[in-house]
Chains A and B, each alone.
Chain A
Amino acid sequence: MELHLATAASAPIVLLASLVYEGVDRKLRARMQGRVGPPLLQPFYDLVKLFSKDRIIPFTAAYPLFNYAPLLSASCALAGGALVFVVLVTGLQLAGDLLLVFYLLSSSSLLAMVGGASSGNPYAAISLSRGLSVLLSYKLPMLLSVLTAAIKAGGTLSLASVIALQAEAGGGIATLSLGGALALLAFMLCMPAEGEVPPFDVTTAKTEVVHGFLIEYGGPHLALVKIAKGVSRFSTALLAASLFLYTPARPPLAAMLCLLEAMCIAVLTITVPGTVLGRVKPSQVVRFCLVAPTSIAILSLAISLLEAGGLA
């Protein structure tokens, strides 16, 4: 019961942090492109505007799916992000919460895409088929690098024990061992795909598939999908920060530090590639994810298993 309350209380914090990141992202991107850029609070204004608009549901849409998928998607993303935050603040031991967070964040992406594709728009259908292959190809190395962190923490799938290990060792996993550093690298290589930014923004590419699954969404629906996307990309960065770069400190301070680190990770892996790189083709995304991050993740897993064996 307490966990439910704590998660519910953390959700707004995660939402706020992800919106602030989006503002920073847009501002930084504009400055890199030689533009002035929108005010830092623009994402907030956008949400207010979108929520005040009417809903439009196409005749061809499968109504329940099209209507409720954005809400479910945003809830999944918020729950996933809030869970990470709660564990960071309270250090609560939950068996298997790493998998739960991973599952929630994946469901969020999946629901948004399926909801959009149920609109009956051919662009959304193409976007879904692209999105599924991209999702499968980058979630695999991401999961492998999460498992590396779990192995470091003695084989438990609980975030709290990974954090406890880092607190004890006095530094993040990525700074302590080669295996951890490689796992973080693999995780970060997958981040542009998670954030749907160039070079991996094939599912929502405007010039190719007209915003893909977002095409028929507008108003509150679009606001929810945007929240889902923003929160899940920030939460993924937060997960990376707490799994690999935890800085030992008193719990509330440590959580704040993790939020700050997540912001830096997101800038490095979402804002920068999104600005300096062009979009590649769907087949190239899949090939890249299945080669570079996956092999690095497998290597890190193997090294970690050896290190763990050596310790035992």
Chain B
Amino acid sequence: MVTRERELMRVPFGPIHPALKEPVKLTLLVDGEEVVDVSIELGYVHRGIEALAETRNIVQVLHLVERVCGICSHAHPLCFIQAIESIGGIEPPERALYIRSLVAELERMQSHLMWLGVMSYQAGLLTLFMYALRVREGILDVLEEFTGNRVIKEVNTIGGVRRDLDDRIIARMRSAVKELRRALKLLIEAVHDKTLESRLEGVGVLEHGEAVELCAVGPVARASGVDFDVRRDDPYAAYSQLRGKFSVIVRRGGDALSRTEVRILEVLESTELVEAILDELPQGEVRLGKPLLRLSREIPAGEDVSRVEAPRGELLYYVRTDGREFLNRLRIRTPTLANFPALMAMLRGSELADVPIILSSIDPCIACAERVTLVDAREGARRTVRLSELRRGGG
């Protein structure tokens, strides 16, 4: 084994790497082109959001969690506000619940399209990246028209939503969704292109048993045959009324191709859902009549766990309020964090050329950091700089 050890090469993958949009460090132990082992190091983008949330009142935290993720900037506040509403026993009007689901579905579409672009970029197909992002623009445009922003949508508020739909915006959404469905046909054809398919098929396989054991969530789990979707199995917002309007996409392959198929077909399902929501949109108010600050002061001390199906999978919030409009504790479990153990299992035994594809196949969204490692190239020594040293200006 000693001689074998010598052939292995340690390849750093990140924290800065063109295949990564956010810093995470994978250290790959490579034998030729085969990945023998992998270790992951998180903590390069730690922003202390959970700690910060404990120093802010509920209304401020609502705007804070909106900024946890730029792609799922609706899923996070939605999950948070559901927990708050459940602690306070507040029931938002029906129309508000429909609007929450509507924005969640639009968000899912743009997230999956963005993911498709990144994925094809990893596979060296820049053209599909350009196409996917152009199609995504159509969704971002209607989101901007409705919410005033492309990314930070700020739709949720305690007891409802902040904006109401009018006929003009409903018509715009219908035409955008119709257009998207047409464009999606082209994208699906492009994904089934021979070279791209050969890069995805059989790559990064996650067996059904592993997916269950390692608690994979979202499209990653569904591509490995785990038939679970929070929208159907633990409905929130308007999903219990919309139950028959969408199906949960499940594939058994467990490879990158299955994960791609699951996501693309989920976009199609979302287009159906958006149309169903627009058809069935109930009339009425979109929020409770009371001022926001008074509502937030009325939230009693209590705790709750809330979950939603974010584009990347099950997102979970644990919230404990102190009864004086502040939070005692906020805990966020993002889908990416839940999928890291599954990622490790996928990477072991894969080819080096497949690492970027496998990594992006879980659609990672990395956000968490506290230290920097310095490597002296001449001596090969590693030294860790702590945050306190950085503050002092040392390091």
**Residues of chain A having any CB pair with chain B under 8 Å:** 32-35, 58-60, 122-123, 125-126, 129, 198-199, 201-202, 205-208, 210-211, 275-284
Find B199's partner among A33, A211, A276, A279 (CB 8 Å cutoff): A279
CB proximity of A271 to chain B, nearest CB, Å:
12
The reply to whether the CB of B131 lies closer than 8 angstroms to some CB of chain A is yes
Question: Chain A residues with Cβ under 8 A from B354's Cβ?
Answer: 281
CB proximity of A156 to chain B, nearest CB, Å:
40
Q: Which residues 110-162 of B have a CB within 8 angstroms of A?
A: 120-128, 130-131, 134
Known: A202-B353, A208-B352. A280 touches B198 (CB 8 A): yes
Contact A278 B199, beta carbon cutoff 8 Å: yes
By beta carbon, the residue of chain B nearest A278 is B125
The reply to whether the CB of B195 lies closer than 8 angstroms to some CB of chain A is yes
Question: Chain B residues with Cβ under 8 A from A281's Cβ?
Answer: 199, 351, 353-354
Contact A58 B377, beta carbon cutoff 8 Å: yes
What band does the interface of chain B fall in when counting residues whose beta carbon is under 8 Å from A? Answer: 35 or more
Contact A126 B124, beta carbon cutoff 8 Å: no
Contact A207 B130, beta carbon cutoff 8 Å: no
Question: Chain B residues with Cβ under 8 A from A284's Cβ?
Answer: 198
By beta carbon, the residue of chain A nearest B199 is A278
Find A282's partner among B18, B33, B128, B193 (CB 8 Å cutoff): B33
Contact B19 A207, beta carbon cutoff 8 Å: yes
Question: Chain A residues with Cβ under 8 A from B355's Cβ?
Answer: 208
By beta carbon, the residue of chain A nearest B33 is A282
The CA of A129 and the CA of B33, in the complex, are separated in Å by 10
Question: Chain A residues with Cβ under 8 A from B121's Cβ?
Answer: 207
Q: Mark B33-52, 1 if CB is under 8 A from A, else 0.
A: 10000000000000000000
Question: Chain A residues with Cβ under 8 A from B198's Cβ?
Answer: 280, 284
By beta carbon, the residue of chain B nearest A284 is B198
By beta carbon, the residue of chain B nearest A208 is B353
By beta carbon, the residue of chain B nearest A58 is B377
Known contacts A59-B377, A59-B378; 10 further A-B pairs (Cβ under 8 A): A122-B12, A126-B352, A199-B124, A199-B195, A201-B124, A208-B352, A208-B353, A277-B125, A278-B120, A278-B124
Contact A278 B196, beta carbon cutoff 8 Å: yes
Contact A206 B18, beta carbon cutoff 8 Å: yes
How many residue pairs between the two chains, A and B, have CB atoms under 8 Å in the bound complex?
Answer: 81
Question: Chain B residues with Cβ under 8 A from A125's Cβ?
Answer: 9
Contact A208 B356, beta carbon cutoff 8 Å: yes
Q: Which residues 142-196 of B have a CB within 8 angstroms of A?
A: 193, 195-196
The reply to whether the CB of B17 lies closer than 8 angstroms to some CB of chain A is yes
The reply to whether the CB of B292 lies closer than 8 angstroms to some CB of chain A is no
Could you show 27 A-B contacts with beta carbons less than 8 Å apart?
A33-B127, A34-B131, A59-B378, A122-B10, A122-B11, A126-B30, A129-B32, A198-B125, A198-B195, A205-B124, A205-B353, A207-B121, A208-B19, A208-B352, A208-B353, A208-B356, A278-B123, A278-B124, A278-B125, A279-B123, A279-B124, A279-B125, A279-B195, A280-B198, A281-B199, A281-B354, A282-B353
Contact A280 B33, beta carbon cutoff 8 Å: no
The CA of A122 and the CA of B377, in the complex, are separated in Å by 13
Question: Chain A residues with Cβ under 8 A from B18's Cβ?
Answer: 206-207, 210-211
Contact B124 A276, beta carbon cutoff 8 Å: no
CB proximity of A221 to chain B, nearest CB, Å:
18
Find B9's partner among A122, A280, A283 (CB 8 Å cutoff): A122
Q: Mark B347-364, 1 if CB is under 8 A from A, else 0.
A: 000011111100000000
The CA of A151 and the CA of B18, in the complex, are separated in Å by 47
By beta carbon, the residue of chain B nearest A30 is B130
CB proximity of B91 to chain A, nearest CB, Å:
47
By beta carbon, the residue of chain A nearest B17 is A210
Question: Chain A residues with Cβ under 8 A from B128's Cβ?
Answer: 278
CB proximity of A265 to chain B, nearest CB, Å:
21
Pairs of residues from A and B, 7 with the lowest C-beta to C-beta distance, nearest first: A279-B124, A278-B125, A207-B19, A33-B130, A207-B356, A278-B196, A278-B123
CB proximity of B32 to chain A, nearest CB, Å:
8
Question: Chain B residues with Cβ under 8 A from A32's Cβ?
Answer: 127
The CA of A211 and the CA of B124, in the complex, are separated in Å by 12
Contact B122 A207, beta carbon cutoff 8 Å: yes
Contact A278 B195, beta carbon cutoff 8 Å: yes
Known: A59-B378, A126-B11, A208-B352. A280 touches B17 (CB 8 A): no
Find B124's partner among A122, A198, A210, A283 (CB 8 Å cutoff): A198
Question: Chain B residues with Cβ under 8 A from A280's Cβ?
Answer: 195, 198-199
Contact A283 B125, beta carbon cutoff 8 Å: no
The CA of A283 and the CA of B353, in the complex, are separated in Å by 10
Contact A60 B377, beta carbon cutoff 8 Å: yes
The CA of A123 and the CA of B198, in the complex, are separated in Å by 24
CB proximity of A111 to chain B, nearest CB, Å:
24
Question: Chain A residues with Cβ under 8 A from B130's Cβ?
Answer: 33-35
By beta carbon, the residue of chain A nearest B30 is A126
Contact A33 B195, beta carbon cutoff 8 Å: no
Question: Chain A residues with Cβ under 8 A from B12's Cβ?
Answer: 122
